[in-house]
Amino acid sequence: MNLLDTLLAHNEGTTRRLIEQSAALSDEQLDQEFDLGLRTVRLSLHHIIESMKWWTDLMNGQPQWSLDPLPHDPVSLPSLQFRLATVAEQFARTAHDVEERGRWDDH
């Protein structure tokens, strides 16, 4: 496994583990506000996954969009897990394409 594969696996695996650990929390705990970061566990998990999508789009030269806030109805942990699996695969495929084409310094 090369450095890129190690970093990609760590990113996806750590985020997946955070979602798994959050399963023990109630909706009230997931949405409890704290005076730091993105204010809640659910918002933080959503942001991590949406940031991966944003970076994937950036590396693919696609238009950038603002990270959307969570919809009025909270995103479930299973939905976050599904979104992570989808985005992590796209992110890894794009990163490998960048590596294969030697585009690390492209702007």
Nearest to 94 by CA among 65, 60, 64: 60
Asked whether the whole model's pTM tops 0.85, one would answer no
pLDDT (tens digit, 9 = 90+) per residue, 71-84?
556 789 999 999 99
Enumerate the domain spans of the chain.
Answer: 3-101
pLDDT (tens digit, 9 = 90+) per residue, 47-62?
999 999 999 998 888 8
List the structure tokens of 3. Answer: 């450095």
Amino acid letter for position 30: L
| DSSP string over 56-100 | HHHHTTPPP-PPPPPPSSPPPHHHHHHHHHHHHHHHHHHHHHHHH
